[in-house]
A and B are shown apart, each in its own frame.
Chain A
Amino acid sequence: MNRTFARASWSDRVFDISVYVILAIVTVVTLYPFLNVLAISFNNSTDTVRGGITIWPREFTLENYRVIFSFPSLLTGFQISILRTVVGTFLGLASAAMLAYTLSRVDFQGRRYISVFLAITMYVSGGLIPVYILIRDLGMMNSFAVYVLPGLVSAFNVFIIRSFMDGLPYALQESAKLDGANDWTIFWRIILPLCKPALATIALFLAVGQWNAWLDTYLYNGSNASLTTLQFELMKVIQSTTTGNSGGDYRSQNMSQVMNRVSPESVKMAITIVVTVPILVVYPFLQGYFVKGMTLGAVKS
């Protein structure tokens, strides 16, 4: 695609400029809200009410953060969120990799049946209420397990890893087999180390999914303060300050004591930043991987 500028016609140049302008607007629209929230979170709460904060704090303060880190529920939420992200990512990755390997083995007897069995789950789901009843019957209400176990095996993730494994030369496994290695050794020693890009992608998906989840806390652990998550705490704060929302029980006990020090608005912005920053920190490192991973999925479908 070596299109040269020299031959560019007048209309092509107009086109070029419009592309840059449109994309610049897209960038601003995407970034501005984050920068705005960041600025407000560092701005003095009484000053914020006067308005006019854009992307830079006017009266810099750390007070908002000091306040939110004094909430016990937020600290619990932070711990649980980290724990579920670590445990959920690790278990999810291990299970997806193992399943994917067995499905990538052309000679495996169960391959076809298991593939179809899994693929069906991508299109059919029982729905919210049946799942809720199931979780309750399994005795998983008010437990940490509910964060990790129900969503452990995701067909989508399995298929992405499998399509990556399909691309590896089969000869590798064959020679290992001749050397007397069993299937587990082949998987663990030969296949897994080669799958790092795919595994990194899936790990990112799993980690982001775990970190961002709030619905399971709301549905299953809403009444258990020791199992709260960061997203759920943020959700409660947002719901309690949205226009016209009754949300009686959401109005957490924290709100009243906070009101006299900083405004709920500033609290909201500070929590938003705390919830978002961990993602922004790991994001640049993993970017190369997930683009590769997504592309893999695209080529497959």
Chain B
Amino acid sequence: MEAITAKKPEKQKPKPKSGRFFKIALQQRYLYLMSLPFVIWVFVFSYLPLWGWTMAFQNFRPGRSFFDQTWVGFDHFIALFSDDRFFLALRNTLAMSFMGLIAGFTVPIILAILINEVRQQVFKRFVQTVSYLPHFVSWVVVAGIVTKMLSTENGAVNDLLMFLGVIDTPYQFMAKGNWFWSIVTAADVWKESGWNAIIYLAAIAGIGPELYEAAKVDGASRIQQIWHVTIPGIRTTIIVLLIMSIGHLVSIGFEKQFLLSNNLVREYAEVLDLYALNYGLGMGRFSYGTAINMFNSVVSILLLFIANGTFKRITKESIM
């Protein structure tokens, strides 16, 4: 967070006495007026839900005051950790996030490198424009498109596979649980790769041309130039983004899973957030749902710290 929060060198200023503090505060009244309302805003909508975690330790009943709730300690967590469905949800979450991490991490890098190698400017711009496009389309639309493409009735994928003679009859992709993870990952790659490649393209653009010149003088082929100049040149960017995505490993959301799943693939589609939604809101078990959410958030933060710490030790680079 240091990288984001403290960028400019602080001006040297003597420790103000309290009288001076208020004098400056009065001078900066417009700055306070422009920021404090939003600070309160953030407090209400981002910090109060953290206070809501207390629900996980109660048998929360809506409509009662905080002091009238029954406290149950870790009962909900004990129930959670002995529920088979929780472990299924955890498995699904981890499986999809690992697949997403690997694919969603490598494909944009490769795409950026490939786009960078194109020297025909019109084609380059066209590919880029097209590749960002799906990022701006909602998951609802993407889910509709994916369902259509994989459909057994004139779906493009089945048509293509039958044309190539790989299969004889249309395959029911959307009804097969063991395909679900791959479908979600592929949909994600389709939607976000072009967009995520922008950052890498920017990083590649920052590499000095003299490095390529030197590599060429040494007789490096194009592939060798990529390997020895381009990739080392974007290493920092790669590491920072990797740490951030590891931090989000278990908080992958549930939009894709919610929209792409159906009853036939439920066992492979229910991720932690969806599990919390089904139990917490669907069945009105708010405390139990909160326990799931809390588990999710705490694990994310731990993963972020672990990833950050590990990379710091290995590469001396970090995001915090």
Residues of A within 8 A of B (CB): 1-3, 9, 11-12, 15-16, 19-20, 22-23, 26-27, 29-34, 36-37, 48-49, 51-53, 95, 98-99, 101-103, 105-110, 112, 114-121, 123-134, 136, 138, 149-153, 155, 159, 163, 166, 182-184, 187, 208, 211-215, 219, 231, 234-235, 238-239, 242-246, 265, 268-269, 272, 275-276, 279-280, 283-284, 287, 291, 294-295, 297-301
Contact = CB atoms under 8 A, between A and B. Distances in A.
Interface stretch (B7-15, B83-91, B94-102): B7-15
Given A51-B154, A123-B304, A238-B143, A129 B10 contact: no
B286 interface: yes
A32 B134 CA distance: 12
Contact of A119 (B5, B62, B131): B5
Contacts of B216: 3
Contact of A130 (B42, B49, B62, B247): B49
A153 B133 contact: no
B242 interface: no
Given A110-B35, A117-B39, A33 B149 contact: yes
B290 A272 contact: no
Interface in B231-282: 237, 240, 244, 247, 251, 255, 259, 262-264, 273, 276-277, 280-281
Given A30-B130, A110-B36, A242-B147, 12 more contacts: A29-B190, A30-B190, A30-B194, A110-B35, A119-B4, A126-B51, A128-B277, A138-B44, A184-B30, A235-B140, A294-B202, A295-B198
A20 B123 contact: yes
A277 B229 CA distance: 41
Contacts of A184: 30, 33-34
Given A15-B222, A105-B31, A20 B4 contact: no
A300 B46 CA distance: 24
A254 B300 CA distance: 42
